[in-house]
Amino acid sequence: MDRIKLKHDPHGDNRHAPADTTFEQFHQANLSHIKDVQDVMTRLSIILDLKGKSHDTTKLTMEQQFFKDFKTLTPEQFVNGEWYQMHVHTERHHPFAYCHDDITLLDILETIVDCTCAGKARSGVVRPLEFNQEILEKAVKNTVKLIDDMTEVDYGK
């Protein structure tokens, strides 16, 4: 995908704006910033949509192995079984079992949706999720990098 172009305009931030900034420049800078955020949020929503559409693909691509482990392994053995280990190393929404180095807050959101839906549909109980600080810090850092990588500043020169 093409990078999103952010319009360079310091007039909306009093840490960077020239002292002689007019109201019209200030207003235009605000409109520009709002559009930039909308564009990035739209791109993130596309990524989330794709995550939803590809959620748990390994449950289908490896369904025979999944079913075999499901039927033959105890719950304690299952998490160490061939299918589950492949699943958590391939899918990005199981950070408690395996945290990918490039995990993002979008993966965290998928984890929350996955666990909430599974809990409600399977047992009627939504269990609390406790993300440790290391996972969250890594996800925030990687999300900032994701957004940084998808954007560039247009200086209009």
pLDDT digit string (tens) for 120-131?
999 999 999 999
Mean pLDDT of the chain: 95
What stretch of H or E contains 36?
A: helix 23-53
Q: Are residues 76 and 99 in the same domain?
A: no
- Residues of the domain holding 71: 56-90
Give the mean model confidence (pLDDT) for residues 77-90.
97
pLDDT digit string (tens) for 6-35?
999 998 888 888 899 999 999 999 999 999
Q: Are residues 121 and 67 in the same domain?
A: no
Q: Are residues 68 and 127 in the same domain?
A: no
d(CA 118, CA 114): 6
Under the banding of pLDDT at 50, 70 and 90, the label for residue 1 is confident
Is the predicted pLDDT of residue 88 greater than 90, yes or no?
Answer: yes
Provide the number of structural domains found in the chain.
Answer: 2
Q: Are residues 51 and 68 in the same domain?
A: no
Q: Are residues 77 and 105 in the same domain?
A: no
Q: Are residues 17 and 47 in the same domain?
A: yes
Domain-terminating residue out of 90, 114, 134: 90
Q: Are residues 28 and 47 in the same domain?
A: yes
Is the predicted pLDDT of residue 156 greater than 90, yes or no?
Answer: no
For residue 12, the model assigns a pLDDT of 86
Can you read off the two tokens belonging to residue 114? 């996955």
Q: Are residues 66 and 136 in the same domain?
A: no
